[in-house]
Structure 1
Amino acid sequence: LRIVTIEDACVPDPRGTLPGRGAYVHPAPVCLDQAVRRRAFPRALRVPGPLDVKALRHYVEQAQGCDSNL
């Protein structure tokens, strides 16, 4: 899943069309938690300070919920 920053937030870019520098993470809660814990997003996206990951976390949780219904 491609991730980009909009203002001070990490947002998902599933179509890969949003402008700006992107980073990639597996769309799984475990991988997202590990990336947040390691502060990987600010480093990969080259932005100072912490980033809000609420929208990203919501997207990943929604995707996991849909996969379990298949």
Structure 2
Amino acid sequence: MSVQHQPQRTCVGCRRKADQNQLMRWVAAARDGGYAVLADPHRRMSGRGAWMHPTPECAALAVKRRAFARAFRVPVDSSTFDPAVLAAGASPTGIDADTTVQPESGSEI
């Protein structure tokens, strides 16, 4: 039986590479003249994504290094981020992250 290849991504916190299915995807969304960081658990939201292990350690490193602003290439205020909230996969700004972009062909489902 063959092992299916998983795409590799780099965690913005610890900078280690891991399979995509082991990391949580985050996106930047325009809100009130700035950008909010939103969790993308279904990996369907549009925009540039940042990947991070769902652990408090990686979340703390990402906040400390200002990794989200660097990954998204837009200014993001990470001072309001709680590493425990980030590790749990919740949006740090409290904005509903269930808004998704529907796939065009349906083949992504």
TM-score, normalised relative to structure 2? 0.48
Judged with a 3 Å threshold, the aligned counterparts in structure 2 of structure 1 residues 49 and 6 are, in CA distance, closer, same or farther, namely closer
1:53 equivalent in alignment to 2:76: no
* TM-aligned CA distance change 1:15 to 1:27, over 3 Å: same
Q: Does 1:18 align with 2:52?
A: no
- Which fold has the larger relative contact order, with Cα–Cα distance below 8 Å and residues 6 or more apart in sequence? 1
Higher Rg = 2
Q: Which aligned runs of 4 or more in structure 1 are off by greater than 2 angstroms?
A: 48-54, 56-63
1:49 shift after superposition: 4.5
Q: Give the Cα separation in 2 of the matches to 1:59 and 1:26.
A: 10
| Structure number having the greater strand percentage | 2
Equivalents in 1 of 2:89, 2:25: separation in Å? 16
Cα distance change on mapping 1:42 and 1:62 into 2, 3 Å: closer
Cα pair 2:68 2:76 within 8 Å, conserved: no
Structure 1: give runs of 5+ residues left out of the alignment. 64-70
Q: Note if contact 2:54-2:89 (Cα within 8 Å) is conserved in structure 1.
A: no
Say what the alpha-carbon RMSD is for the aligned residues.
2.5
Residue matched to 1:6: 29
Work out the number of aligned pairs and report it.
62
TM-score normalized by the length of structure 1: 0.71
Q: Is the 8 A contact 2:36 2:76 kept in 1?
A: no
Structure holding more helix per residue: 1
Cα distance in 2 for partners of 1:53, 1:35 equals 10
